[in-house]
Structure 1
Amino acid sequence: MPTKRSILIVDDEKNQRDILDMILSAEGYRTATAPSAEAALRMARAERFDVVLTDLKMGGQSGLDLLRALTQADSSQLVILMTAHGSIESVKDALRLGAVDYLEKPLDRERLLTVLAQALSRLDALDADLIGNSEPMQKLKKIILKVAASDETVLVRGESGTGKELVARALHRHSPRAAAVFHVVNCAAINENLLESELFGHEKGAFTGAVAEKKGLFEVADRGTLFLDEIGELNVALQAKLLRALQEGEVQRVGSTRVIRVDVRVVAATNRPLEDMVAAKTFREDLYYRLNVIPIHLPPLRDRREDIPLLVERFLARQSRGATHYTITPEALQVLQAYDWPGNVRQLESALKRAALLCEGDTIGVEDLPVEIRQATGVPASAPAPPFQFRLPPEGISFEEVERSLIVQAMEKTDWNITRAAKLLGLTFRTLQYRLEKFGLRRPSDTPSDDAPAAEAPPDRTG
């Protein structure tokens, strides 16, 4: 929303600053003004703005100088340039350096508001893809918007489970290539003998089993984006072929001498220390520098704990089905925020899936969290349940009556959810459904008609 977005206006003409301040304030933006690039840089270092709207030509340092300084400072602000004197080359330089758009003077009010709204709407779209409002995540999102328009190679670094593929998809979605294909290759999941064919294709008869020619993903992703996950797993021979594809835009299929031109933006990712691998001669130094043109680092979840409530809300919404809407107690949320999450966001999502499946009702408490999380955060583990015991009366008892009683208890404990009750009883869904029909059991509030089936379990709400 505009009221939540801040804009720093930079222009050496006071009249121009005042006009822009008046227009944008009236639209609900929070504004600040600076008379020079030097003053703007000081303000941007002291406060985080969503957008820096700067003139190109100013006394002293220019708008391009400010853009360079913000980029070197690893700033998260989006930059929009205003120019009355700039050439096409100046605009190209600005976009290459990371500006998200430009405006020509004299400014048109509607054009100004449209460009701002478009830049901020892309930021809003990233909020839906990359969950979190912490400073590291806000910085990450703005870096993505800055580099998305470029065709340069991006190297995404981060621990396992931090969401490197989500970043790659966001880069593609906000790039000029968004209408073209996006392909994912997990370099660690494919046999190295097959990976060359997967990436570069092969000709018929190139090797045993090559019964037909096949395009590689570099050809398939032409004009699109190719995401190479676990790039550190490539063998040295494949590293050489990849380097040629990146440097020359050329590939050769296995079994062919024909050179094929390709136009592909590559985003690579790894959680391995490539610098150490270069030193150990297991990763080519020239390929490392070619991949590391634009490095992006994903923070681990333990470094952005303030994002955990938002992540929990999103993941529980995904688990909710029908009338079941899962919530979490404040105590359980506190435990989640205290845990270090070695598996990062992926581990958090997995823990919540498990808790939602096993909890009684639709509220997740501390007792529903995985034991390793409770133990690591100092929550005492529950005492082990005593082994199940049943005293057989001297006169005997009907086994079917015992079975029926256990089924009723399990159904009531799970609010008549067949999937969860079956897990409690160690039965399959179909077996429990058969026994419900056998004993004529249904939710007490149900009132079947004479021709209704004896037992009609409520729909499975756990998915």
Structure 2
Amino acid sequence: MPEGSILVVDDEQRQREVYRDIFLDEGYETVTAPSGEAALRLLAQKRFDLVLTDLNLAGMTGIELLTQILQTDPTVAIVLITGYPSIESAIDATKRGVYQYLEKPVDRSKLLEVVGDALGHLASLKQTIIGHSPAIREMVRMVMKVAPTAHTVLILGESGTGKELVAREIHKHSPRNQKPFLAVNCASLTETLLESELFGHEKGAFTDAYQQKKGLFERADHSTLFLDEIGDTSLAMQAKILRALQEREILRVGGTESIKVDVRIIAATNRNLDQLMQEGKFREDLYYRLKVIPIICPPLREHRDDIEELALHFMGKAGLASGRGVHSISEEALGALKAYRWPGNVRQLEWAIERAVVLGESDRVDLQDLPPEILQTAEEISSSEPAISAPQAGAARFTPVIPETTWEEHEKAKITEALQRTNGNITRAAQLLGMTFRTLQYRLEKFGIRKQ
């Protein structure tokens, strides 16, 4: 049975009922609203995976509604329907984050195809890109928005933030996904090797060219090519990449005939391209050609609320790989993970959890299982806080390292403030905090916070 919750918004009762019956027949959880205002009231009480709305509503328009929805939760898929289509309204809707734009009368099979695709993409992304913070939700929204297109994408972020993962997800949800995703790290090869890898070479083009070789641009024809660390390429290489993008053709090393290619380029870098461009180290024309659609992978220190969910995910992976049944993480260990700055970002967190699972001796990750650099940070925080009580004889060196008042009181204060701001609405409070509804419910019970 299909999974996903749908909110149908239309000011015509008969049309609402038609859409509702179509979705209910397919097994989707479906709720209807007669106006944009009513839809927002429902969304304040419950999260929906997809909103199907008419563009021309009485009162609040469909555009105004989708704008407010995406400001609160960018991962909601929006499908817009109108009986008065125009190029301008379609372009405006697409720019604002609409997943699909359909004209009335809507064909049942087409409607179900669009809704199924949208919910399928969303479910797949949630399983791959872990986290519910505003920064991650915005990143997921951008992936959903650009994946169906052929546009060039530039992914920006520090090392270890998951740039290649995002690139693979874009390809996976694109029309090119029947062909293999190809990738190259531009910083790992010399210029000569990189040129041969990208564009191929003819037999005899250089000393070791014993036979003809197709480059990645040719092999990625009608597919996606990921150029990682493009900020580390030379100006000469940048010129060749630019030509391939502009002319949609390449020239093999030692070749004389141009070869047409249809390749979607996704580039990524951890460098500041604006600064490199100002220093004359990166071509301005290539910069703007690549930066058609930028996607930012935030550093882990900027979405610490996702650390618990990420740690549990990596713990499950490591447990399966090592055959160890590790099912939870202690509050002290979680506090230490949240305190650390993570220069290596999500990749470093995964390694830390894998190490803890493999080397630990119990069915949970404890503080002493974490790497030394994380323990050092925890110890420094502990030494800066007043002691709660003297440690008992035989207690572990770092217990308790993160005083309860440091972490729990801070988190309780954040949750209480969010509930006050939302008049006790748990769904909206969870969105403000970047938590799932269930996570917030667990925290409320744990801290003994009453719903206001």
Instruction: Say yes or no: TM over 0.5.
Output: yes
Unaligned runs of 5+ in 1: 385-463
Q: 1:324 aligns to what? A: 324
Indicate how the Cα distance of structure 1 residues 353 and 71 shifts in structure 2: closer, same or farther if over 3 A, else same. closer
The separation in 1 between residues aligned to 2:397 and 2:10, in whole angstroms, is 68
- Amino acid in the other structure paired with 2:338: Q
List aligned pairs for 1:262-281, cutoff 5 A.
262-281=261-280
User: Are the equivalent residues in 2 in contact too, given 1:3–1:29 (CA < 8 A)?
Assistant: no
- Is the counterpart of residue 351 in structure 1 residue 352 in structure 2? yes
The separation in 1 between residues aligned to 2:241 and 2:58, in whole angstroms, is 46
Residue deviations 1:237-267 (CA, integer Å, cap 9, x gap):
1101111111110111111121110000000
**TM-score of the superposed pair, with normalisation by structure 2:** 0.73
SS in 2 for 1:335: helix
Indicate how the Cα distance of structure 1 residues 244 and 331 shifts in structure 2: closer, same or farther if over 3 A, else same. same
The separation in 1 between residues aligned to 2:257 and 2:225, in whole angstroms, is 22
The separation in 1 between residues aligned to 2:198 and 2:66, in whole angstroms, is 37
Indicate how the Cα distance of structure 1 residues 46 and 72 shifts in structure 2: closer, same or farther if over 3 A, else same. same
Residue deviations 1:213-249 (CA, integer Å, cap 9, x gap):
1111000000000000001011001101111111110
Q: 1:296 aligns to what? A: 295
Q: 1:185 aligns to what? A: 184
User: Are the equivalent residues in 2 in contact too, given 1:11–1:55 (CA < 8 A)?
Assistant: yes
Q: 2:237 aligns to what? A: 238
- Amino acid in the other structure paired with 1:330: E
List aligned pairs for 1:44-443, cutoff 5 A.
50-56=49-55, 75-86=74-85, 99-107=98-106, 112-113=111-112, 115-321=114-320, 324-327=324-327, 328-378=329-379
Q: 1:429 aligns to what? A: none
Indicate how the Cα distance of structure 1 residues 72 and 192 shifts in structure 2: closer, same or farther if over 3 A, else same. farther
Indicate how the Cα distance of structure 1 residues 69 and 191 shifts in structure 2: closer, same or farther if over 3 A, else same. farther
Between structures 1 and 2, the one with greater helix share: 2
**TM-score of the superposed pair, with normalisation by structure 1:** 0.71
Indicate how the Cα distance of structure 1 residues 360 and 87 shifts in structure 2: closer, same or farther if over 3 A, else same. same
The separation in 1 between residues aligned to 2:244 and 2:201, in whole angstroms, is 15
SS in 2 for 1:202: coil
- The offset of 1:61, in angstroms, is 9.8
User: Are the equivalent residues in 2 in contact too, given 1:223–1:264 (CA < 8 A)?
Assistant: yes
Work out the percentage of aligned pairs sharing the same amino acid.
50
The separation in 1 between residues aligned to 2:73 and 2:362, in whole angstroms, is 47
The separation in 2 between residues aligned to 1:3 and 1:197, in whole angstroms, is 46
- Amino acid in the other structure paired with 2:351: S
Indicate how the Cα distance of structure 1 residues 226 and 33 shifts in structure 2: closer, same or farther if over 3 A, else same. farther
- The offset of 1:160, in angstroms, is 0.9
- Amino acid in the other structure paired with 1:285: E
The separation in 2 between residues aligned to 1:199 and 1:172, in whole angstroms, is 19
- The offset of 1:51, in angstroms, is 3.2
User: Are the equivalent residues in 1 in contact too, given 2:133–2:306 (CA < 8 A)?
Assistant: yes
Indicate how the Cα distance of structure 1 residues 359 and 74 shifts in structure 2: closer, same or farther if over 3 A, else same. closer
Name which one, 1 or 2, has greater alpha-carbon Rg: 1
The separation in 2 between residues aligned to 1:85 and 1:122, in whole angstroms, is 28
Root-mean-square deviation (CA, aligned residues, Å) is 3.8
Unaligned runs of 5+ in 2: 384-395, 399-452
SS in 1 for 2:227: strand
The separation in 2 between residues aligned to 1:66 and 1:219, in whole angstroms, is 44
